Structure 1
């Protein structure tokens, strides 16, 4: 299987920034436009996430990798007492600008500043995919949860069922190269594998692991193909930016052709299936 440019692969360069540094930089640069691009399809996970975590009135809730705060605000609308953390100062500023009924602050998912057993619920909407050490983040979620508390996170499913994650690496490898000067990234679809998700969650002290499918859709005007991929993603944008100009042009043309079966009246509508995973703190 061709490795997705969204995760894994890449040549190791001694002087390169780390994966975590590049993710921080990329998402910080996108904070002001996040809701217009990435937020459009990440919102699909929110209702399923809150339902899986069982969030309701009075629950102290931590939203990890909160981004611009959409999941935090949805949890607060259910009456939860919400804290949102993100490693990007710019994302936190954008979240704070939306509402005052959630406490937003800068924080590292892999080293949470909160005490043990501080929250009733912990959620993470598609943020696990962008962590250098997701196992550590899951262990931290367990640590800050009260016994019996519920944890839930969302992840995208892999190229076997997701046209986007099949088409993009195939096109890039056919017309350019996936072997670019980027630090290796954690496997993007690791936690979409149910056995692997259960193994890590059980190892972190969770029980009662459950899974739910999320039928999301990615939609954007085909005429804005280049603009969309430049702003909606971090890792894939870095891969595309490192192509030779002629190869980049061929890739964009081939992507447009590959998306034609999913295009109606100039709008690309790609199925983008996701998974919500939840578990109880032992």
Structure 2
């Protein structure tokens, strides 16, 4: 997830590799945060028991693939992939631990290694908004889907609806430590506009498109947990934080904690967010 410009040569794989261990460590926590989102996306896939299903940008937990694999009576094929090899390693370990019939591979959503018309359902969380050209990824999904195939993907609603990310991001940006995106650049919120995203989906070749909002609550146990999440889990924000000297990090932490007080929930915090599920059919 990022709100900074993606310059030429930006190493997205390296960035996600750098936070893979932290994402893996928080995997169960993040699965809880996004449980309703996962349920909504799986329902929107309109699964048949023998479908071939692919989860893109699966991260270390492959939540969609896991939910499909645990679905009673499902006998289809389940595949999952991510740009980050470290994320894939973590996801494979979890799947083996739980005895899930999911195959994994490293992949780029703009160059999928599947033949034309070979996949029934595709699910993807928070990836198309991070592409320099989102329609390139959407067209690639359309290419590999069967004639009655279905794509379900998640994006974030507008920045104002997502304090969980904007709170630390704004603290860093105000200090010149994190650069917000220019209009039209890849970002967490690049596909927040419902009408614009719907038009992209149709331009990519899909004939129908529906949208549903899903609220999120990022619950953090105490100030240490809040800082750990900012420092280790928040993608490029974490990279920016870790590159600062100790004094700057202390200043950033103090201001983040001050602003987070309005989201206090007992000893900890409940930072709100809003995801948007887009379901598209061919």
TM class by smaller structure: 0.7 to 0.9
Cα deviation, residue 261, structure 1: 1.4
Cα deviation, residue 27, structure 1: 4.4
1:77 counterpart residue number: 70
How far apart, in 2, do the equivalents of 1:195 and 1:31 lie? Answer: 32
Structure 1: 5+ residue stretches without partners: none
How far apart, in 2, do the equivalents of 1:221 and 1:139 lie? Answer: 41
How far apart, in 2, do the equivalents of 1:134 and 1:193 lie? Answer: 13
How many corresponding residue pairs? Answer: 270
Cα deviation, residue 179, structure 1: 4.3
> Normalising by structure 2, what TM-score?
0.85
> Normalising by structure 1, what TM-score?
0.85
1:46 counterpart residue number: 38
Cα deviation, residue 260, structure 1: 0.8
2:263 counterpart residue number: 262
1:91 to 87, 103, 108: 87
How far apart, in 2, do the equivalents of 1:93 and 1:101 lie? Answer: 15
Does the CA contact (< 8 Å) of 1:168 and 1:255 recur in 2? yes
How far apart, in 2, do the equivalents of 1:145 and 1:232 lie? Answer: 32
What value does the CA root-mean-square deviation take over the aligned residues?
A: 2.5
Does the CA contact (< 8 Å) of 1:117 and 1:146 recur in 2? yes
2:223 counterpart residue number: 223
The alignment partner of 2:191 has SS state of: helix
User: Greater CA deviation, 30-39 or 109-118?
Assistant: 30-39
Does the CA contact (< 8 Å) of 1:28 and 1:89 recur in 2? no
Structure 2: 5+ residue stretches without partners: none
2:122 counterpart residue number: 122
2:192 counterpart residue number: 192
Cα deviation, residue 38, structure 1: 4.3
How far apart, in 1, do the equivalents of 2:192 and 2:209 lie? Answer: 13
Matches within 5 A, 1:243-258: 243-258=244-259
